[in-house]
Amino acid sequence: MSIVIENLSKDYGAAPVLSGISTTIAEGEFVAVLGASGCGKSTLLNVIAGLEPPTAGSVSVPAAGAAFMFQDAALLPWLTARANIELALELRGIPRAERRQRATGLLELVHLGDAGAKRPHELSGGMRQRASLARALGQDRPVLLMDEPFAALDAITRDLLHDELERLWRAHRRTVVFVTHNVREAVRLGQRILLLSSRPGRIAAQWEIDGSVRSDPAAAAALTQDITARLREEIRHHAH
């Protein structure tokens, strides 16, 4: 049930975006993918999701596939939060009689039990992302792909959703691939961090993050500083 990426490359015409990426993401592992803007992070997620074919190499994912959570909550504005989740359940073939109960349970799971009847414009940005997360969980896939889902949120809301996501991951142990350009966020959430070089994106470095580092603010800050320095190196290299 792992994700196996072997010598993956992706070009758009003559422009190489990803080059020679190989890694295995274990079942239940939380991997953060870090890199400068435009380094191919989102393209990597799209290829893993099967939304785009690789130019070379291969990607193997569990047969049940992946759920995708975007930076924009992408909720249908004319549907309530509950109805947005019910639609995902309907597409999975869940019978109508079960859908409302399951959607209500998913809303409660992300602490939105009182907001099911609200439409997206009535929800705060953080609440919309919670609803989007509930919808992604409702797809019941073994893999959850997240493309900078908290980038547009203020720092306090983002921290709250980090706690929420970690709680849900520990409870359900889905395999998570989380794209971000925020080093602190990557250190806060990832068991492992992959740093992509600037285009073409290659794995320039990776770090395993021990749970003790996350619980030690000084160690987490030191690691964040080290990774930030390496990211800046990559950005400078690309600039020249």
Domain of 203, CATH number, reads: 3.40.50.300
Give the pLDDT of residue 211: 80
Same-domain check for residues 37 and 154: yes
Single residue among 140, 164, 179 that ends a domain in this structure: 140
Main-chain phi, psi angles of 20, to 5 degrees? 60, 40
Same-domain check for residues 107 and 175: no
Give the pLDDT of residue 31: 96
Residue 42 in domain: yes
Same-domain check for residues 115 and 223: no
Residue 232 in domain: yes
By DSSP bridging, strand 143-147 and strand 66-69 are parallel
Residue 229 in domain: yes
Same-domain check for residues 49 and 148: yes
Query: Which token pair is 164?
Result: 């929420």
List own/partner pairs for 17-23 with CB under 8 A and 24 or more apart: 17/43, 17/199, 17/200, 17/201, 18/43, 18/44, 18/47, 18/200, 18/201, 18/202, 19/200, 19/201, 19/202, 20/57, 20/202, 21/57, 21/201, 21/202, 21/203, 22/57, 22/203, 23/194, 23/203, 23/206
Same-domain check for residues 155 and 209: yes
Same-domain check for residues 195 and 153: yes
Single residue among 93, 120, 140 that ends a domain in this structure: 140
Same-domain check for residues 133 and 198: no
Residue 92 in domain: yes
Residue 169 in domain: yes
Residues of 137-165 as b/e, b for ≥16 C-beta within 10 angstroms?
bbbebbbbbbbbbbeebeeebbebbeebb
Residue 70 in domain: no
Same-domain check for residues 134 and 106: yes
By DSSP bridging, strand 66-69 and strand 56-60 are unpaired
Same-domain check for residues 40 and 53: yes
Same-domain check for residues 152 and 35: yes
Residue 101 in domain: yes
Domain count, the chain: 2
Give the pLDDT of residue 9: 93
Residue 20 in domain: yes
Give the pLDDT of residue 240: 54
pLDDT tens for the chain, residues 1 to 240: 689 999 999 998 888 899 999 999 999 999 999 988 888 899 999 999 999 999 999 999 998 889 998 888 789 999 999 999 999 899 888 888 899 899 999 999 888 889 999 999 999 988 998 899 999 888 888 999 999 988 888 888 888 889 888 988 988 889 999 999 899 999 999 999 999 988 788 999 999 998 888 888 888 999 999 999 998 888 777 665
Same-domain check for residues 194 and 232: yes
> Which domain does 235 fall in, by range?
3-65+142-239
Same-domain check for residues 50 and 86: no
Amino acid at 176: V
